[in-house]
Amino acid sequence: MTTAERVFSNVLPHPLGSPNSSTVYAPSNIALSKYWGKRDAALNLPLNSSLSISLGKWGTKTEIAPADQDSLTFNDHVLDATDPAAKKVWRFVDLFTGPDRPPLRITTLNSIPTAAGLASSASGFAALTLALDQAFDTQLSKETLSMLARFGSGSATRSFWHGFVKWNKGHMADGRDSHAHLVKGNMNDLRIAIVAVDTGPKSQSSRDGMNHTVATSALFNAWPERAETDCTAIERAVKEGEFDTLGQIAEANALAMHATMMAARPALTYLMPGSWQVLETLWAARNEGLAAYATMDAGANVKLIFPDHATQDVRQVFPEAQVINPFESV
């Protein structure tokens, strides 16, 4: 039995029995304090905690139903069982159900606009985990489901709630305490804007980029402690409704993460000239009074965070940006 199989078997009753049909939705999320680096790759355990904001109606709807044979449909396209994405999905399904499961029909619809250039793995694996829980009536808590979803995608741990969510890095060797929870705060007027710079595939996957940075960057050793401190400070800012504190730390945290990549050997960067142009435009506008800050993940696109009253000002500076209410439910 693999380590992952042992983790699942410890919280799930096997055999699970016959599935029912289920339909669920999970929002995507963006991290305000980043997760970058793992303490255990096999268990997908992070070196530091992270805190995110959900993306409201941008996410994944997944349906699971009994079937005569396995089938997986993503955005109206049937995926062959040999497709790498399909292999990853079915591997996760087998972890959850055990190897002797009945055939399933899985239908997934991603509501994130392609032009936004956002990955859907977070909401995708969160929705898959929720759908499996409902289909097999396992009645697991969201915290436990969050822990299990980590085996599909680390950021999926944070896609089980609308609003601010913290993924605790945990300390236990088997990762049972590495899961997310909702952070209740005083910042429900926060808004997100996506400024798309490049919507094509990345030059290097996030996983490969992370491993390369950890292995070769002279700046990485200082990152986990700095990131943990930032996460704690952002959580405090959310609870106390201190937008400027949140924005300043989130922007600095993102830039620090990208600095660790650029100090790798050879250097790695996901940011493009257009990304820096967006940042320079933002910084100039902020000097003129715009209440907005930026964050960037392992990709070229820039996400802006700002209070609702600044929405029109943000649209004037970035007319192409797509604005999201992170607290809006489907």
Q: What is the pLDDT of residue 304?
A: 98
User: Which residue, 123, 154, 183, sits at the end of a domain?
Assistant: 183
Q: Is 194 inside a domain boundary?
A: yes
Q: Could you tell me which residue, 204 or 305, shows the higher pLDDT? A: 305
Q: Are residues 21 and 155 in the same domain?
A: yes
Domain that holds residue 305: 190-324
User: CATH number of the domain that 157 lies in?
Assistant: 3.30.230.10
Measured over the CA atoms of residue 195, residue 198, residue 200 and residue 205, the dihedral's sign is negative
Per residue, the 3-state secondary structure of the chain, as one string, reads: CCHHHHHHHHHCCCCCCCCCCEEEEEEEEEEEECCCCEEECCCCEECCCEEEEEEEEEEEEEEEEECCCCEEEECCEECCCCCHHHHHHHHHHHHHHCCCCCCEEEEEEECCCHHHCCCCHHHHHHHHHHHHHHHCCCCCCHHHHHHHHCCCCHHHHHCCCCCEEEECCCCCCCCCCCCEEEECCCCCCEEEEEECCCCCCCCCCHHHHHHHHHHHCCCHHHHHHHHHHHHHHHHHHHHHCCHHHHHHHHHHHHHHHHHHHHCCCCCCCCCCHHHHHHHHHHHHHHHCCCCCEEECCCCCCEEEEEEHHHHHHHHHHCCCCEEECCCCCC
**Given 183, 215, 239, which residue is the final one in a domain?**
183
Chain segment 60-82, per-residue pLDDT in tens: 999 999 999 999 999 999 999 99
Q: Do residues 157 and 195 share a domain?
A: no
Report the CATH number that the domain containing residue 221 is assigned in CATH. Answer: 3.30.70.890
Do 29 and 173 reside in the same domain of the chain? yes
Residue 269 lies in a domain: yes
Give 231-276 pLDDT, tens digit per residue.
999 999 999 999 999 999 999 999 999 999 999 999 999 999 999 9
Mean pLDDT value across residues 23-35: 97
Tell whether 84 is covered by a domain: yes
Q: What would the mean pLDDT of 180-187 be, rounded to a whole number?
A: 95
In the predicted structure, residue 117 carries a pLDDT above the cut 70: no
- Report whether pLDDT(5) > 70: yes
Residue 119 falls within a domain, yes or no? yes
Residues 133 and 227 in one domain: no
Say which residue, 1 or 299, is predicted with more confidence: 299
49 and 157 assigned to the same domain: yes
If asked whether residues 39 and 95 sit together in one domain, one would say: yes
Domain C-terminal end among 183, 203, 234: 183
The pLDDT value recorded for residue 330 is 81
Whether residue 330 is contained in a domain is answered as no
Same domain, 118 and 68: yes
Do 134 and 240 fall within a single domain? no
Q: Which residue has the tokens 């939705």?
A: 25
pLDDT at residue number 36: 96
Report whether pLDDT(20) > 70. Answer: yes
The token duo for 255 is: 């830039």
The identity of residue 326, as a single letter, is P
pLDDT at residue 44 greater than cutoff 80? yes
- Structure confidence at residue 64 (pLDDT): 98
Paired strand residues for 22: 64
| Within-domain flag for 329 | no
What is the reported pLDDT for 285? 98
Is it the case that residue 115 has pLDDT exceeding 70?
no
User: How many domains is the chain built from?
Assistant: 2
* Mean residue pLDDT across the chain: 95
pLDDT above 70 covers a percentage of the chain that reads 99
Tell me how far the alpha carbon of residue 98 is from its chain's centroid: 26
Q: Are 215 and 143 within one domain?
A: no
In a domain, 300, yes or no: yes
Side-chain-facing half-sphere of 146: CA atoms under 13 Å: 21
161 and 268 share one domain:
no
What's the pLDDT score for residue 114? 62
| Residues 218 and 179 placed together within one structural domain of the fold | no
pLDDT of 118 reads 78
* Residue 306: CB atoms within 10 Å: 23
Residues with Cβ within 8 Å of residue 67, at least 6 apart in sequence = 103, 104, 105
Q: Tell me if 212 is assigned to some domain.
A: yes
Q: What pLDDT was estimated at residue 1?
A: 82
CA-based R_g, the chain, Å: 20
Which two tokens mark 121?
């793995």
Q: Are residues 166 and 210 in the same domain?
A: no
